[in-house]
Chains A and B, each alone.
Chain A
């Protein structure tokens, strides 16, 4: 199994550009999520999905869109990039969210810089 994969690893955008961060998992996990990690802020949940066709907002959803057309893929779209979106983005998946025996598997991250 490849686990959770993310592309690209690094990206530089100009203010106002749009782009999609890709996330895929091959573990047949129902739950997928996107986090951003900023220095001194910890990981913050952007959006999550509990299955294909179902998405919901997390703590910091503004400026981001998601969709879940398949179990495997959960792309994150930046509609109009802003410098405040400079961050490291992690995608994660799990079989069932929040259970005592649950494990969140994270992708390697995408380092995004918005100029």
Chain B
């Protein structure tokens, strides 16, 4: 099982749609969870952290289920500007540090007029 797995996509949705991305992780010791956004040919940027109680930032809602090792991102009222690749990220262990980040391959979202 890969360390971080995401829906492969692409997701093609009309403006105004609600879209949900799912992600599973294999390391039960992971403590930190994030969603990053990456525009075409650009660097990744933090979209939001994911907390155990779930958290919301405007149209974006993130949920974490530690028992199932599952993370989700919900985007409501999609905008054209939401078109990007969404990366699920958890902390993991390389070398002597548990503090490195492990990225999923990403799910591409395309919002159409």
Contacts and interface: CB of A to CB of B under 8 A. Distances in A.
A45 B101 CA distance: 8
B94 A108 contact: no
Secondary structure of the A side of the interface? Answer: loop
Secondary structure of the B side of the interface? Answer: strand
B94 A58 contact: yes
A108 B42 contact: yes
B46 to A, nearest CB: 5
Contact of A56 (B49, B51, B96): B96
A99 B102 CA distance: 13
Contact of B99 (A41, A42, A90, A98): A98
B100 A45 contact: yes
A95 B75 CA distance: 29
A48 B93 CA distance: 12
Interface residues of A, number: 29
Nearest to B106: A42
B100 A42 contact: no
Contacts of B105: 40-42
B97 interface: yes
Contacts of A22: none
Given A98-B31, A106-B43, A48 B103 contact: no
Interface in B4-57: 4, 31-32, 36, 42-46, 49, 51
A-B pairs, 4 with minimum CB distance: A97-B99, A98-B99, A56-B95, A106-B43
Interface of A: 31, 33, 35, 40-45, 48, 50, 56-59, 90, 96-104, 106-109
